[in-house]
Every structure is written in C-alpha cells, then in structure tokens.
Amino acid sequence: MKYEEIIISDTLKIKEIGIDELEQAFPVVSQLRTHLSLDEYIAIVKAMQPSGYKAVCLFENDKIVSYAGFARLINLYYGDHVWLYDLVTDKSKQGNGYGKLLLSHIEKWAIDNQLNCIALSSGFQREAAHIFYEKGMGYTKVSYVFKKSITT
C-alpha cells in the first residue's frame, strides 16, 4: 500500500518522496548518516527501493524538516513488520514534535497494512533518541544488535 500524502496543517504535510526528491532530503538525512555522501545516499536508496524501502518526509512550508526510511519486512521473530532504518529531524527543528508526527503516521501505515510491529536499531550513543522511542512513543528495548565488520 502506498503511503498517502497527509496534510497536517497549512504549513505541515507528510509525503513519500521519490528518487528525484532525495537530494532535497539529504541535508536532513546527513545529520543522522554523517558517513554518507549525497551520491552514496542516493545509490543506496535506489538499491533498497526494490526491496520496499520508502522515504517519507515531514515538510514545513515545502521544506523537508524530518525524514524516515522504512520497509515492510517479514522474518521469524517479528513476523510481518516495519523495519525503521532511519528517523531524523533537522537539528534546528527538534523539540517541535515533528519526529513524533512522522513516526505516528508510519505506525498508522503499519496498522493499515495489518503489520505486527515496528522495529528499529539505535546506536548506544543516541541516548536522547532512546528516551524519545521509549517514553515518547511507547517502544521497548527487546534485544541488542551485534555487528562484525568484514574486511577483504
């Protein structure tokens, strides 16, 4: 199911963006994904889209102020669910409830698509984000994510 554009007010709207709008989103995305160049970001999103990756943004006066990247996945431990890859609000706009608005609309999308849950991974250093997810949005910590880099 496509994520429909949602008008919140005269100045705020949420909509799924296409490849042609990724460059407009990059100033916000790069605040979370500091290791990516614009070209890397666009190439990775293009590679993820065939697997269902959606880029959804909150616009304030037609400017992207919050970005979320997610996909519908299925696995043995969460079943049919949303995996939230990215959620970031422009530093100058944090504290206005924009992340909550955007994540709440993704939760509605998950409900509309009869999914079991929303899951995400968040770095240890992102303590403010953890408070947001747990206290602000009702998420619970359920596991650690382990990673091993492979060098060739």
CA 15 to chain centre: 12
| 66: nearest Cα among 45, 110, 97, 40 | 97
pLDDT value at residue 152? 80
Question: How far, in Å, CA of 104 to CA of 37, rounded?
Answer: 29
According to the model, what pLDDT value does residue 3 have?
A: 60
pLDDT digits (tens, 9 = 90+) for 102-122: 999 999 999 999 999 999 999
pLDDT reported for residue 5: 85
Whether residue 45 contacts residue 57, with contact meaning beta carbons closer than 8 Å, is answered with no
Provide the whole-model pTM.
0.93
Report the residue count for the chain: 152
Q: For every one of its 152 residues, what pLDDT tens digit does the chain have, with 9 covering 90 and above?
A: 456 789 999 999 999 999 999 999 999 999 999 999 999 999 999 999 999 999 999 999 999 999 999 999 999 999 999 999 999 999 999 999 999 999 999 999 999 999 999 999 998 999 999 999 999 999 999 998 899 999 98
Domains of the chain: residue spans and CATH: 6-136 (3.40.630.30)
